[in-house]
Chain A
Amino acid sequence: MAMPMDFKTYVDQACKAAEEFVNIYYETMDKRRQALTRLYLDKATLIWNGNVVTGLEALANFFDTLPSSEFQVNMLDCQPVHEQATQAQTTVLVVTSGTVKFDGNRQHYFNQSFLLTAQSTPNNTVWKIASDCFRFQDWASS
């Protein structure tokens, strides 16, 4: 069990995790797509423009068929999730927004949110995606 921390420390930890994670996530999505599922928990769920994708195998298939991408993030925010909701499993809410161009398609503005959970080993903390929600801002006219 983690030592109880003060609020400021929770926030700092969340910000550090969020920033590092988001950089890795979009870089992997754009340049090493085949490695993307390593960032997800086994039972993770993705809601992509209203389509549900559950579990690593389904996620792998989904990312395989998704055209190559070019993401540009212009908004990032994060919050530590209250332990009452997470049952003491350290979790961070990460919210991003920006533009994405998928090969063969026009550019879209997008909004994305993640729940990252900490998997701690003695030496470091690895953050993985427990849930992911992605939507084009103009999904209705796509």
Chain B
Amino acid sequence: MQENTQDGTPGSWFRVTIPCGIQYDRTWLMNSIQSHCSVPFTPVDFHFMHNGARFFVQEASTASALMDVSYKICDEESRKVCIPVFVSPSAAPYSVRDKLKPEEMEQLKLTLSKRFDVSQQALDLRRLRVDPDLLGHDIDIILNRRNCMAATLQIIKKNFPELLSLNLSSNKLYQLDGLSDIIQMAPTVKILNLSKNELKSAWELSKMQGLKLEELWLQGNPLCGTFPDRSTYVRAIRECFPKLLRLDGQELPSPVTVDVDTPCVLKPCKGSYFGCDELKSLVLQFLQQYYLIHDCGDRQGLVGAYHEQACFSLTIPFHPEDPAPSSLCKYFKDSRNMKKLTDPHLRVQLLKHTNRVIVHTLCVLPKTQHDFISFVVDTWSQTETMLCFSVSGVFKEVEGSSQDCVRAFTRTFIATPASYSSLCIVNDELFVRDASPSETQSVFSIPVPTPTSSSMHTLSQEQQDIMQASSTPPEVNL
């Protein structure tokens, strides 16, 4: 055995093995060993091999202190079983032996920084070995090797401490020993992509136990073919990562929780709500007529749809990191989003008051084509004098620089039956945002009918009766 040297050069290395170590929670095991050990130690290159757990320590004094821990820790479950800890001299662990040189570490850091997306807190390490930067500097980063993975994790810990998403796809990984330290080095990772590697068994994943993953990609690994069906596969993966929400791009059904106090299941979402069929036809007819004029006619024709003293306001979302989104610029100056707009004077100004002012504002907004089929309507309040409903859907802008841009909207109308029969808008609030990719794709799948009307229909006596009958007493004479 080599002696420790006084001048600080590294002493000898020792290998510590806990047979059957794999059955214990790693954190509990290491904490138990540490608490029984008279000397504090730093485990290096912790990994599981077969059923055992193994790590390395330096210094003979540490080694002998650890030897004394053997059979002192008792199995949590069965107090009678004491855990052996075997210590023997060994060569330096891989991560130390083949440690990257400082200049290699520096280059690796630069290369990783190029692959880091700060807005998503995502690091893309696909095919890292053949990165032109690394090849150009003659640095061989094989992530399968302990030293390379350790170096990478070290850089992540130091430079990307809030990493959310890590992509290790296509790196020929056939074991995940090197990721045993991921909990210490990158504990914030919630999205992990291990697809297209050489992992042969789901057991490899247990080496990362404790990582709170929400999304995992494993497809393209030999291990995927070892399960008889998808549900067995999902169950096995979920044993390692109980909080997993998505596997291989597919949402997993919410896990059933036994604890009644912490529900995780949401009520299923349903489509439009109208309360009754009569109200449904009333509201749909109103919307059809409104948007016909709005899209195809002169919007001046809408002035009769609004009460003289009606109010209208428009908002777009406010994201502090992108306060003036260029895509929604045509709506920006009218946006009355109170999360951004704090001036009380402006808040009054931007609330458009009276039907003429409202229609003037509408005439200036971009010309649109609404996708009626996309509409979902919630009729959420009604009394004998008021009907309140919200419409969500998508529309296309049909002229100017933003032609063909697809927007999504939610518009809340409060209407009252006015004398001489019209359904009369008293409040109108419009929220416009950019459409999501799936909303954009599904738009206008069915052709839009051509317009025939240019002014708002008056409600028939029957429709007025419906409005009264659907509401709560007392009745009011119109």
Contacts and interface: CB of A to CB of B under 8 A. Distances in A.
A15 interface: yes
Contacts of B381: 45, 115, 130-131, 133
Contacts of B379: 47
A105 B214 CA distance: 10
B385 A95 contact: no
Given A82-B307, A103-B264, A131-B380, A77 B337 contact: yes
Contacts of B336: 77
A69 to B, nearest CB: 10
B429 A93 contact: yes
A80 B431 CA distance: 17
Given A11-B347, A82-B307, A135-B392, A76 B269 contact: no
Nearest to B438: A141
A142 B414 contact: no
Contacts of A111: 390, 392, 410, 431
B353 interface: yes
Nearest to B410: A111
Contacts of B208: none
A82 B416 contact: yes
B344 interface: yes
Interface size class for chain A?
35 or more
Nearest to A130: B381
B427 A47 contact: no
A139 to B, nearest CB: 4
A135 B378 contact: yes
Nearest to B320: A74
Nearest to B315: A77
Interface string B131-142: 000000000000
Contacts of A139: 269, 376
A73 B337 CA distance: 11
B270 interface: yes
B132 to A, nearest CB: 36
A133 B274 CA distance: 12
A22 B337 CA distance: 13
Nearest to A64: B263
Interface string B304-335: 00010111010111110000000000000000
A52 interface: yes
Interface stretch (B104-112, B254-262, B294-302): B254-262
Interface stretch (A24-32, A83-91, A119-127): A83-91
Contacts of A7: 348, 353
B337 A52 contact: no
B380 A75 contact: no
B339 interface: yes
B386 interface: yes
A82 B245 contact: no
B165 interface: no
A57 interface: no
B251 interface: yes
A79 B351 contact: yes
Given A82-B426, A84-B426, A85-B386, A50 B347 contact: no
A79 B266 contact: no
B267 A95 contact: no
A75 B378 contact: no
A105 B255 CA distance: 10
Nearest to B215: A106
A13 B318 CA distance: 23
A82 B309 contact: yes
B273 A47 contact: yes
A78 B350 CA distance: 11
Interface string B254-294: 11010000111111111111000000000000000000000
Contacts of B267: 48-49, 51, 62, 65-66
B226 interface: no
B310 A82 contact: yes
B390 A133 contact: yes
B412 interface: yes
A11 to B, nearest CB: 5
A99 to B, nearest CB: 10
B436 interface: yes
A136 interface: yes
Given A84-B385, A106-B214, 20 more contacts: A15-B344, A18-B338, A50-B376, A68-B262, A75-B316, A75-B339, A77-B338, A79-B429, A84-B416, A97-B410, A104-B243, A106-B246, A113-B390, A131-B380, A131-B388, A135-B269, A138-B436, A139-B269, A139-B376, A140-B269
Closest 6 CB pairs of A and B: A104-B264, A50-B270, A131-B381, A82-B426, A133-B380, A85-B386
Interface of A: 7-8, 11-12, 15, 18-19, 45, 47-52, 62, 65-68, 73-82, 84-87, 93, 95, 97-98, 102-106, 111, 113, 115, 130-133, 135-142
